[in-house]
Amino acid sequence: MNAVTPTLPAPIGLLAELTHRCPLRCPYCSNPLELDRRSAELDTATWQRVLAEAAGLGVLHVHLSGGEPTARQDIVEITRTCAELGLYSNLITSGVAGALDKLDALYEVGLDHVQLSVQAVEAANAERIGGLRNAQPQKFAFAERVTALGLPLTLNAVIHRGNIAEVPALIDLAVRLGAKRLEVAHTQYYGWAYVNRAALMPAKADVDRSIRTVEEARERLKGQLVIDLVVPDYYAKYPKACAGGWGRRLMNVTPTGKVLPCHAAETIPGLAFWHVQDHSLAEIWAESPAFRAYRGTDWMQEPCRSCDRREKDWGGCRCQALALAGDAAATDPACSLSPLHGKVQALAIAESALETAPDYQYRTIGGAPRTAVPEGAPV
Ligand code: SF4
Ligand code: FES
């Protein structure tokens, strides 16, 4: 195993947020509320150096993400660099605007995998959620070209109140488009999704039905389609190991070169994030105060500290603990052992029962949302 020190394993994945620019405006975007502008983005040479450092550190997978990564003029050069370094490259894309025009060139330079977002199956609903007219036919054309090139395709559908009824249709769509994998990812309430929580929260009965639908389809489509299911935290019994555990598996480089342990880490006050302009990735992984803050189990409070699941889920999500408990070192209130769990579930039930969901606050660069946090948070 690659290791930075004898006790610290190397990260396996690098999320390269190449840009925050995106033609879509999804109300559950995991990008921060303060989006980086194009003028502040890292240049090509710096990204290439970062990728070389990642390969040297032992990273295996690079997720070329954003925003919309194909909005970068240099996406083909960056992808070629991944291939030259032996890094497995995954393009996380909306498939709209200029994405299709660049796809063949990306394939030529060695792109390994494509993850395409879908907002819904029904076009009007998909385009309402994504905030972009005429997006759906572009996505379908993009998916067709991905499979025609022989590239493995994953569809990613973020599930919420506005599309949960379409889970069966999303599974059919994945089969029809020739995807190898479908991610049925219930919304995680950070970033823009946190602001839009009351508009997005599905009813528990609908969540349970969607889980049953996935379980049935997994059996039916064995050998044809793999379906990953991310269950909704607010209705869960135990939290997920967010980002695979803080500072354990992933590094996230923002468009301006800040290196984060997870995509929402900047919401935690008092953490110092190091930049790729000032430090190597290896230094940041081993020494950055932000990566060290919640690595391992020493920082844990009760009930995590003495829980036998503490090295399975690593206490859940620090950003969610901050948002809901007001303390990033608290047990994630998604956990049924957290004293706040009952309140979180009650809040989800109340929001999902709203007769009319509030309007979306669409993601936008430079446009502050109308409300920074939903009513009633922290609980
Ligand atoms: Fe995980 Fe902490 Fe809950 Fe135990 S108490 S299951 S470690 S979040
Ligand atoms: Fe930051 Fe979960 S999003 S730890």
Question: At 138, which helix (H) or strand (E)?
Answer: helix 135-148
pLDDT digit string (tens) for 268-277?
999 999 999 9
| Rounded distance from Cα 164 to ligand 2 centre (Å) | 24
Task: List CB contacts of 205: < 8 A, sequence separation 6 or more.
Answer: none
290 Cβ contact list (under 8 Å, min separation 6):
259, 260, 261, 265, 271, 272, 273, 274
Going by C-alpha positions, the residue among 250, 262, 291 that lies closest to residue 90 is 250
- Ligand 1 pocket (Cβ < 6 Å) reads 238-239, 303-304, 307, 309-310, 313, 315-316, 331-332, 335, 337
Distance CA 47, CA 60 (A): 16
Q: Over the stretch 65-115, which tens digit does the pLDDT of each residue have?
A: 999 999 999 999 999 999 999 999 999 999 999 999 999 999 999 999 999
- Nearest ligand to the CA of 323 is 2
Is the pLDDT at 350 greater than 90, yes or no?
Answer: yes
Residues of the chain with pLDDT > 70, as a percent, come to 95
Residue 71 and residue 174: Cα distance in Å, rounded? 25
- Centre of ligand 2 to C-alpha 26, Å, is 19
Q: Which residue shows structure tokens 């960056």?
A: 78
What is the number of the ligand closest to the CA of 248?
2
User: Taking the model in full, what pTM does it have?
Assistant: 0.93
Q: Return the residue whose CA atom lies nearest to atom 2 of ligand 2.
A: 317
Find the mean pLDDT for residues 178-197. Answer: 94
Whether residue 319 has its Cβ less than 6 Å from ligand 2: yes
Grouping H, G, I as helix, E, B as strand and the rest as coil, residue 74 is coil
Tokens of 144: 């067709």
Q: Assess whether the C-beta atom of 50 lies below 6 angstroms from ligand 2.
A: no
> Residue 233: CB partners within 8 Å, gap ≥ 6?
186, 188, 189, 239, 240, 316, 317, 320, 332, 334
**Contacts for 99 with CB less than 8 Å, ≥ 6 apart:** 68, 70, 93, 138, 142
| CA–CA distance, 299 with 213 (Å, rounded to integer) | 39
DSSP per residue, 77-88: HHHHHHHHHT-E
- Element of type H or E holding 7: none
Over 147-212, what HEC string results? Answer: HHCCCCEEEEEEECCCCHHHHHHHHHHHHHCCCCEEEEEECCCCHHHHHCHHHHCCCHHHHHHHHH
- Which ipTM did the prediction report? 0.93
Tokens of 78: 């960056």
Q: Determine the distance separating the centroid of ligand 1 and the alpha carbon of 235, expressed in angstroms.
A: 15
Ligand-binding site membership of 29 (annotated) = yes
Predicted confidence band of residue 377 (pLDDT cuts 50, 70, 90):
low
Residue 3 pLDDT greater than 80, yes or no? no
Query: Could you report the per-residue pLDDT of 99-108, keeping only the tens digit for each?
Result: 999 999 999 9
pLDDT at 376: 46
pLDDT score recorded for residue 365: 81
Q: How far apart are CA 357 and CA 365, in angstroms?
A: 24
